[in-house]
């Protein structure tokens, strides 16, 4: 018997990976806490930069070569890199295959791509200009309930960017943020449900001014 329950969509089920790949083309930005062991974020970022699942970094030197590739001219220790990659394999973020010619193939999985995307989205931010132009950026959207997980993921990213929730599915920001909002709505496939408005005045905006320290 088929269930009548509305189908729910996982947040990354219909991600535009071509759009997402733009994040991975940028150099990795993150704190390097250990000069011998690369961060999980670093490895996933570099593997995800390939843009397609199944494209691997292959070398007869295996993990040693991969460690050099991760940071350009700065290599981590071979044992440290192999340790992190082995852990990623256990978590099913990467797949490792040893070939008969002695080379090693390391590929990022779909699960690994989703994790890498989360890391990159977590670091997104909106640049704040020196002076406010007195206008408000208003983002409104109406995503159907059957896509509530997708809608919640989009909302989460707007809050992460410090947009103010004015009312349900209406967010406000005082500075230009079109590029960031456009990226997110295209990434999550909700562009036709999201609108970006530039308005001169919002009635009773004192709470907004206080929130954004514009008094």
pLDDT in tens, 70-90: 444 456 667 777 788 889 999
The reply to whether 169 and 199 lie within a common domain is yes
Q: How many CA atoms lie within 13 A of 165 on its CB side?
A: 10
Kindly state whether residue 169 falls inside one of the protein's structural domains. yes
Could you count the other beta carbons within 10 Å of the beta carbon of residue 121?
18
Three-state DSSP class for residue 192: helix
| Alpha helices for the chain (secondary structure H) | 17-25, 40-48, 63-70, 78-90, 110-122, 148-160, 178-187, 206-211
pTM passes above 0.75 = no
Could you say which of 52, 87, 122 is where a domain stops? 122
Residue 146 has a pLDDT of 84
Could you say which of 99, 122, 145 is where a domain stops? 122
Domain count, the chain: 2
Kindly state whether residue 177 falls inside one of the protein's structural domains. yes
The reply to whether 116 and 57 lie within a common domain is yes
Q: What is the CATH number of the domain that holds 151?
A: 3.30.70.240
Rounded Cα distance between 187 and 14, Å, is 9
Rounded Cα distance between 86 and 90, Å, is 6
The reply to whether 155 and 106 lie within a common domain is no
pLDDT in tens, 150-208: 888 899 999 999 999 999 899 999 999 999 999 998 888 888 889 999 999 999 999 99
Which residue range forms the structural domain that includes residue 92? 17-122
Kindly state whether residue 74 falls inside one of the protein's structural domains. yes
């Amino acid at each position: 018997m088929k269930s009548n329950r509305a189908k729910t969509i996982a947040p990354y089920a219909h991600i535009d990976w071509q759009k997402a790949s733009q994040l991975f083309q940028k150099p990795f930005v993150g704190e390097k806490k250990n000069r011998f062991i690369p961060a999980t974020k670093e490895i996933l970022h570099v593997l995800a930069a390939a843009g397609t699942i199944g494209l691997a970094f292959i070398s007869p030197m295996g993990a040693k070569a991969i460690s050099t590739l991760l940071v350009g001219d700065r290599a981590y220790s071979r044992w440290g890199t192999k340790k992190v990659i082995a852990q990623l394999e256990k978590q099913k973020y990467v797949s490792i295959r040893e070939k008969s010619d002695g080379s090693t193939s390391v590929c990022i999985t779909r699960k690994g791509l989703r994790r890498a995307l989360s890391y990159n989205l977590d670091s997104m931010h909106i640049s704040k200009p020196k002076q406010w132009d007195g206008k408000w950026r208003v983002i409104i959207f109406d995503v159907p309930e059957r896509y509530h997980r997708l809608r919640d993921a989009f909302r989460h990213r707007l809050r992460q960017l410090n947009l103010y929730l004015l009312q349900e599915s209406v967010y406000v920001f005082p500075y230009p943020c079109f590029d960031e909002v456009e990226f997110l709505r295209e990434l999550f496939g909700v562009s036709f449900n999201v609108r970006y408005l530039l308005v001169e005045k919002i009635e009773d905006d004192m709470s907004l001014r206080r929130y954004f320290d514009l008094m």
